[in-house]
Structure 1
Amino acid sequence: MSKRSLLTAVALIGVGIVFGVVLMTSFGGNAIENLFAGGSELGAGQPPTPASAAVKALNDQFVAVSSAVTQSVVSIAVKTERKAPSSMPNDFFRFFGPDGGGGDEEFQLPDGGEANGSGVIISRDGYVVTNNHVVEEAKEGGIVVTTNDQKEHKARLVGRDPLTDLAVLKIEGTFMPAHFAQRADIRIGEWVVAVGNPLGLKSTVTTGIVSAMGRGIGIVGTDERTFERNRYAVENFIQTDAAINPGNSGGGLFNLNGSLVGINTAIASRTGVNAGYGFAIPIDMVKSVALDLIDDGKIQRGYIGVEITSVDEASAKAVGLSKVSGVNVNKVVKGGAAESSGLEVGDVILDVDGQPVKTSNDLQNEIVLRRAGDKVTLKIWRDGREISKSVTLRSLDSDRDVATNDSKAGEATTKAADEPVNFKGLGFTANSLTDEQTSSFGTKQGVFISKVDRGGAVARRGLRPGTVILKADGKEVNSPSQLQRILSAKKAGDGVLLVVKESDGTKQAITVEVPES
């Protein structure tokens, strides 16, 4: 190659380099890539709708809360005793997994089996709160707690409370406890995060809102073998739509401050997995029960000594309340705190120590926070006016039968004083008392209920055959015809309060709505 040719080649290479630099500068860093890729560029250059500062702040808060609260939530592995299968339909399914079933499937843990749940650390020295149903079948020494740092700790069972479905464990060490929210500050509609270990997935965080407060769903204290429920069981759940699944039992429900709002306990589901309805025990109940178990290893719970139902429209009409709110006293336990303080069947409890109680769940939640020996002031609605009663709570006498279902209809001949009356619209028949019934019930007042139509109005309200109506609409009843006159004076849709005496001597208040004639 001549010298001239060599110089020409070098010059052309230099021009090429300069031209390439110009191209790179003009078309950006992807120019060559675009040249060889046919000009295709993956992804848009900018997000279509950049988040506002407020949205970014909310997102950052969720991230911060999730990071903080997971430090206080633990996984619990339980070696269990053999548990008999239950065919109970799990519309309300306790998420005790992963071996638990859902829907209509049987739930069975074999000998030596292991079940898993969640818990929340509530003190620096290692107290952990969880659900009673997570640990109630545990073998001695069969509970292991795994903290967020994946360290395993042998746990000691401090105590259990089946009537609230809470239990406390103890592990050794120093830990980060959850911060407790104030029950009064929890609002329907506020954001919450549920944290637990669903389906074996450690430290899972899901979000939702507080959907409702004060829910009772009838699962706490229910025997899965007999389906019978303990009458003293307490439910006052927070409902949430945060996704919760098997394994979440005992995990925490937290607000956006990172404060513990409640302990996750159940979901409403036919499949055993999240269907949008979860339930958590409120923090005030959790704190009260946990303190009792830590201090004494058992619950020193106080009781009023009444059987109650929430006021509904019929009972509000019957006693003259202007709004549907309060708690009916349907029965008063003999020798209990309520009887000693002068509460009567047919009273309506309106508040406890100034705190309004709109439903029976509200009343239970107020009393469960107190111990035997505590005094409470009840505002009572009686005979169309408000009165106050001071009640000293007593411990539960487990041998006392509050209400019996063994009432039997009398078989003796009725007095000739009055003929039986069939109250067709309400669905029952009343007879005059016989001498034998007067003696066995201990009263000359009232009429005997010889028949109650299945599915009738009074049957749906709890009236049973073999009982005696003592009063109707506040008036003493001495014959079937007198009861007929009292009810005939009421208009269709009016409420009527009946005071009923059972064969064991307990009294019950039943409210019915007068039907169309």
Structure 2
Amino acid sequence: MRKKPIVSAVLLIGIGIIFGVALVSTFNTGGIASAFAADKEIGAKQAPVTLSPQVQALNDAMTSASKSVNATVVNIKVVTESKVDNKQLRDFFKFFGSPEDMPGGGEDGDMQKSEGAGSGVIISSDGYIITNNHVVEQAKDDGITVILSDRKEYKAKLIGRDPLTDLAVIKVEASNLPVAHIGNSDEVVIGEMVIAVGNPLGLNSTVTSGIVSAIGRGALGLNRDRYAVENFIQTDAAINPGNSGGGLFNLRGSLIGINSAIATRTGGYMGYGFAIPANLMKAVALDIIEDGKVDRGYIGISLRPVDEVSAKSLKLDKVAGALVDDIIKDSPAEKAGIEAGDVILELDGKPVNSSNDLQSLVAQRRAGDKVNLKLWRDGKSLSKSVVLKKRDDATVASNEDGVTGSASKEDESTNGTVSFKDLGFTVAPLTEKVKTELNIEDGVLITKVEPYSHASERGLFPGFVIVKAEKQSISKTGQINKIIKDRQGEVLKLQVKSKDGSRLIFLEIPKKS
């Protein structure tokens, strides 16, 4: 009779073992949840929003473009060298004493290495890569390394640089590389969706999106050279340090710009990024690849933007064009008969809305090329042909981004000091010293300009010499006094000279009640 309880005990132990194994299995596989909570659900059964076909197509276009261009953008690491200068540090510790465990900083004159980073875009399957000049300009001879999206690394050679456009070409020894398709940046429109691809802050292959915020953005002063070519595509796609040299692409996957700069007060992204147009990039890159440098032609003029005041004086229908401030001696412009005061409206049929537009168009052409200009002069249009000339410093055009008088007599022959209080400046007879310095015989000297006055706002400075008012040559202060008095309520065009050259100034003469 004792066998039956023993059998029952054995069966119970066996069942316990089987249940234990099953329980352990559920812990290992996550099945415990289904074992004890088979009816429990977490999360909603479906997404709350159903995308319309149009939105889904836009999303698909964004992801497709990002995937297709990612491999064409590379990471660039740069090693630079600079001389050690510890004089200030030595002077400090000479006075206060040096800590015993302070590491040595090297002797004066020793070369100290530092590292930087940027981005680039592959433009040929055999290894040519476009980037920014400021990314590689300080690189030591063997200090450029390119890292592809698949993490392969290559040493790169600097082929050439163009500081005026902030572009440079480097090359790696490789073949069958993925190549970016270069789009036509002239077709870019405001509001167009774009993606920026680069390596910001060391984050490889980063894609950000936005729209084209503006085109033809210039006069930013990002390049301190007065002959710099600034004609950017502005975007709100996030661009941060390390993005420089990366690509700005449209949703077709075409490269429309090279990311170059940001406008920021913090050093990081604030919603304003700028890219060099692809058409300009292509012209510069081809020049560098063929010759190792840019064989840029130039017209030989100083430019300034047309504003409302100058447009009124010149009788232009709209505020547009590039205003010729001065003509360089023996330049193509002088030979073609272009004059100071002309407004350039078109180049080879392409509209010139601003001075930076003209600079960008000329920068895409080579020395020896013939260009046709449409000008505005004396209230009517005319055409001039100019053959671009080679210049050693590769300058294209200089871009300058500038009432009654109280005299003892109103006679034009008067040549004393005259103050124009309503305009805020004072003129006096020309001194022999100024005549010698500027190599001129006639004119009147501006001796004082009141801060925040109309004259100051329009770009007049003490030391300027007024040589013409409208088309009348000026030799006495009485002349300028009479002209200003006679042109109340109008805009007066002045030609002034200084040590920096000649320029035009437009003043609105207040009308006396």
After TM superposition, give the deviation of residue 143 of structure 1 in Å.
0.6
The corresponding residue for 2:154 is 153
- CA–CA distance in structure 2, aligned partners of residues 143 and 437 of structure 1: 51
Change (3 A) 1:445 1:118: same
The corresponding residue for 1:325 is 320
The corresponding residue for 1:461 is 458
Q: Give yes or no for contact 1:83–1:137 (8 Å, CA) kept in 2.
A: no
The corresponding residue for 1:336 is 331
Change (3 A) 1:126 1:439: closer
Q: Does 1:296 align with 2:291?
A: yes
Counterpart among 470, 475, 482 of residue 473 in structure 1: 470
- CA–CA distance in structure 2, aligned partners of residues 477 and 416 of structure 1: 11
Change (3 A) 1:217 1:385: closer
| Unpaired stretches in structure 2, ≥5 consecutive residues | 1-31, 86-110, 401-411
- CA–CA distance in structure 1, aligned partners of residues 441 and 122 of structure 2: 60
- CA–CA distance in structure 2, aligned partners of residues 495 and 438 of structure 1: 28
Higher relative contact order (CA 8 A, sep 6+): 1
The alignment covers a number of residue pairs equal to: 443
After TM superposition, give the deviation of residue 346 of structure 1 in Å.
1.4
Q: How does 1:91-130 map to 2 (within 5 A)?
A: 111-130=112-131
Q: Does 1:498 align with 2:498?
A: no
The corresponding residue for 1:364 is 359
- CA–CA distance in structure 2, aligned partners of residues 217 and 484 of structure 1: 34
2:112 aligned counterpart, secondary structure? coil
- CA–CA distance in structure 2, aligned partners of residues 500 and 69 of structure 1: 51
What CA deviation, in whole Å up to 9, does each residue of 1:474-499 have, x standing for no partner? Answer: 3343432332222223344x322111
Q: Give yes or no for contact 1:346–1:509 (8 Å, CA) kept in 2.
A: yes
RMSD between superposed Cα atoms in Å: 2.8
Q: Does 1:168 align with 2:165?
A: no
Change (3 A) 1:436 1:82: closer
Q: Does 1:383 align with 2:398?
A: no
2:313 aligned counterpart, secondary structure? helix
Counterpart among 268, 289, 301 of residue 273 in structure 1: 268
Change (3 A) 1:470 1:149: same
What CA deviation, in whole Å up to 9, does each residue of 1:272-307 have, x standing for no partner? Answer: 221111111100111011001000001111111111
Change (3 A) 1:84 1:54: farther
Q: How does 1:44-443 map to 2 (within 5 A)?
A: 44-82=44-82, 111-174=112-175, 175-216=177-218, 218-221=220-223, 229-398=224-393, 417-433=414-430
Change (3 A) 1:388 1:45: same
After TM superposition, give the deviation of residue 330 of structure 1 in Å.
1.1
- CA–CA distance in structure 2, aligned partners of residues 166 and 84 of structure 1: 29
Q: Give yes or no for contact 2:201–2:240 (8 Å, CA) kept in 1.
A: yes
What CA deviation, in whole Å up to 9, does each residue of 1:385-430 have, x standing for no partner? Answer: 1122211212225499x99x9xxxxxxxxx9843322111222222
Q: Give yes or no for contact 1:144–1:154 (8 Å, CA) kept in 2.
A: yes
- CA–CA distance in structure 2, aligned partners of residues 447 and 155 of structure 1: 58
After TM superposition, give the deviation of residue 196 of structure 1 in Å.
0.6
Change (3 A) 1:307 1:84: farther
What CA deviation, in whole Å up to 9, does each residue of 1:432-486 have, x standing for no partner? Answer: 4467766776666543323333433223333233333232233343432332222
What CA deviation, in whole Å up to 9, does each residue of 1:165-201 have, x standing for no partner? Answer: 1010111122011001112221110110110111111
Q: Give yes or no for contact 1:311–1:328 (8 Å, CA) kept in 2.
A: yes
Change (3 A) 1:442 1:135: closer
TM-score by length of 1: 0.80
- CA–CA distance in structure 1, aligned partners of residues 140 and 394 of structure 2: 29
Q: Give yes or no for contact 1:163–1:220 (8 Å, CA) kept in 2.
A: no
The corresponding residue for 1:14 is none
The corresponding residue for 2:26 is none
After TM superposition, give the deviation of residue 111 of structure 1 in Å.
2.3
Q: Give yes or no for contact 2:295–2:394 (8 Å, CA) kept in 1.
A: no
Q: Does 1:512 align with 2:513?
A: no
Letter of the structure 1 residue corresponding to residue 497 of structure 2: K
The corresponding residue for 2:42 is 42
Letter of the structure 2 residue corresponding to residue 59 of structure 1: N
1:111 aligned counterpart, secondary structure? strand
Change (3 A) 1:188 1:203: same
- CA–CA distance in structure 2, aligned partners of residues 152 and 371 of structure 1: 35
- CA–CA distance in structure 2, aligned partners of residues 292 and 47 of structure 1: 53
Letter of the structure 2 residue corresponding to residue 340 of structure 1: K
- CA–CA distance in structure 2, aligned partners of residues 511 and 495 of structure 1: 6
- CA–CA distance in structure 1, aligned partners of residues 497 and 196 of structure 2: 48
Change (3 A) 1:386 1:117: same
Change (3 A) 1:69 1:500: same
Q: Give yes or no for contact 1:191–1:207 (8 Å, CA) kept in 2.
A: yes
2:228 aligned counterpart, secondary structure? coil
Counterpart among 444, 449, 465 of residue 446 in structure 2: 449
TM-score by length of 2: 0.80
| Unpaired stretches in structure 1, ≥5 consecutive residues | 1-31, 86-109, 222-228, 406-414
2:333 aligned counterpart, secondary structure? helix
- CA–CA distance in structure 1, aligned partners of residues 437 and 159 of structure 2: 48
- CA–CA distance in structure 2, aligned partners of residues 435 and 231 of structure 1: 30
- CA–CA distance in structure 2, aligned partners of residues 440 and 268 of structure 1: 39
Q: Give yes or no for contact 1:352–1:376 (8 Å, CA) kept in 2.
A: yes
1:246 aligned counterpart, secondary structure? coil
